[in-house]
């Protein structure tokens, strides 16, 4: 890793667990360090130390923007939870503040969408409630519908899991939700078993595409607060073992001990290969939050991984169906969707301007990712 990436990891340690030795800033490029932190969506975690060393206006401005967004985010979440409570709709917040609650300072966690889960049988009713209260409906898929209001994005879930069945645990958690508090703001969240499964599975899903330090830290802080040896041995471990997620949980946790300062008192992860932890951390650092650092390379990785999983023709056909606007109007074009997608990939490749060497590097990175997934048992 680069000098700036190593400093970034040490600053995460300092922000969450305290760091006995001072960070060495000799020859550190603060623009590069800022870039690394923002690409991983974790500038808030290191902002206090960073701004003490380099209080330039551009960095202060970014920090103020983050603080303002956090206030708007909590206000929007409170409006949502009050609305659903008024209609007596059971619901819980997923990720977001349900992750931030474990942080030393919850306001330092970067916030994206407001994800929330409702009982499946009330899903249609909740959609109508949101629409009647000026939420703008967007894209839907097999698990959720997107909404927006006043510049904040929401995702209404009726299911969380799909390719690994965790739903019974999560539905049980929804029935036994808890009230959590961050900075004077309250919200409903899943109990610790179900919430941990959500955070681990969220990390797993994005690891298959591109995952960054924010998702790693969400998992790490959950482990630090809730997943001690006793809870792992008696409750959490047996479930993730059954679901094929044990290796991922152990390797990710051990990686956090090696690189991010997670205390060594947690012993249930100690029997893993440290080299795999090193490879996983390199993948995370190189990727950025949701693959932000990979740009076009991320799409090539995703396509390569998907082809390996479902087959070339199926991938071309399904992508063609999604991307070809003419097919959306004229379904008789279905047999030709795969041909359309071939030409689309060719056009995107030319438009990207990436050299053969860069494309080869993208494919090599995809191969490396698939090898790590295989070792983790989640390919």
pLDDT per position as a tens digit, 315-358: 788 888 888 888 888 889 998 888 888 888 777 665 555 556 65
Pull the structure tokens for residue 204: 């797993």
DSSP E strands in the chain: the ranges are 92-94, 114-117, 136-140, 144-149, 152-157, 178-182, 185-189
CATH (one of 1.10.10.60, 3.40.50.300, 3.30.460.40, 3.10.20.90) for 64-290: 3.30.460.40
**In the chain, which residues fall in CATH 3.30.460.40?**
64-290
How far does the chain reach from its first CA to its final CA, in angstroms? 26
Q: What is the pLDDT of residue 207?
A: 86
Q: What is the pLDDT of residue 360?
A: 58
Cα–Cα distance for residue pair 172/129, rounded to 1 Å:
24
Pull the structure tokens for residue 122: 């009330």
What DSSP element (H or E) covers 267? none
Q: Is the pTM of this model over 0.95?
A: no
Task: State which residues of the chain have pLDDT below 70.
Answer: 20, 289-312, 348-366, 379
Q: What is the pLDDT of residue 297?
A: 43
Task: Encode pLDDT of 293-308 as tens digits.
Answer: 555 444 445 544 555 5
Q: What is the pLDDT of residue 208?
A: 76
Q: Are 203 and 227 in contact (CB under 8 A)?
A: no
DSSP helix/strand/coil, 96: coil
Residues in the chain: 379
Q: What is the pLDDT of residue 294?
A: 54
Q: Are 63 and 43 in contact (CB under 8 A)?
A: yes
């Amino acid at each position: 890793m680069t000098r700036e990436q190593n400093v970034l990891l040490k600053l995460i340690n300092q922000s969450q667990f305290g760091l006995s030795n001072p960070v060495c800033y000799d020859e550190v490029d603060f623009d590069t360090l800022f870039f690394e932190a923002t690409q991983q969506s974790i500038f808030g975690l290191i902002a206090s130390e960073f701004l003490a060393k380099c209080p330039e206006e551009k960095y202060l401005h970014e920090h103020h923007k983050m603080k303002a967004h956090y206030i708007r985010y909590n206000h929007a979440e409170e409006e949502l939870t009050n609305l659903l409570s008024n209609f007596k709709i059971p619901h819980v917040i997923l990720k977001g503040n349900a992750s931030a609650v474990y942080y030393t300072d919850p306001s330092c966690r970067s916030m994206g969408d407001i994800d929330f889960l409702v009982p499946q049988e009330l899903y249609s009713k909740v959609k109508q409630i949101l629409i009647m209260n000026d939420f703008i409906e967007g894209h839907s898929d097999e698990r959720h519908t997107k909404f927006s209001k006043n510049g904040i994005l929401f995702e209404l879930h009726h299911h969380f899991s799909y390719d690994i069945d965790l739903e019974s645990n999560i539905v049980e958690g929804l029935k036994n939700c808890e009230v959590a508090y961050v900075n004077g703001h309250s919200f409903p969240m899943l109990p610790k078993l179900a919430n941990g499964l959500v955070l681990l599975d969220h990390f797993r899903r994005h690891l298959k595409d591109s995952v960054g330090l924010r998702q790693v830290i969400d998992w790490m802080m959950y482990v630090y607060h809730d997943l001690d040896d006793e809870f792992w041995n008696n409750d959490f471990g047996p479930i993730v073992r059954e679901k094929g997620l044990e290796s991922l949980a152990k390797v990710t946790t051990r990686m956090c001990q090696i690189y991010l300062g997670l205390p060594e008192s947690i012993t249930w992860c100690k029997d893993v290969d440290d080299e795999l932890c090193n490879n996983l951390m390199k993948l995370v650092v190189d990727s950025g939050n949701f693959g932000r650092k990979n740009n076009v390379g991320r799409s090539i990785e995703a396509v390569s991984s998907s082809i390996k999983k479902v087959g070339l023709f199926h991938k071309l056909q399904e992508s063609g169906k999604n991307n070809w606007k003419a097919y959306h109007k004229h379904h008789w074009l279905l047999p030709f969707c795969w041909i359309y997608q071939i030409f689309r990939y060719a056009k995107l490749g030319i438009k990207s301007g990436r050299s053969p060497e860069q494309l080869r590097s993208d494919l090599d990175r995809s191969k490396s990712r698939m090898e790590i997934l295989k070792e983790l048992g989640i390919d």
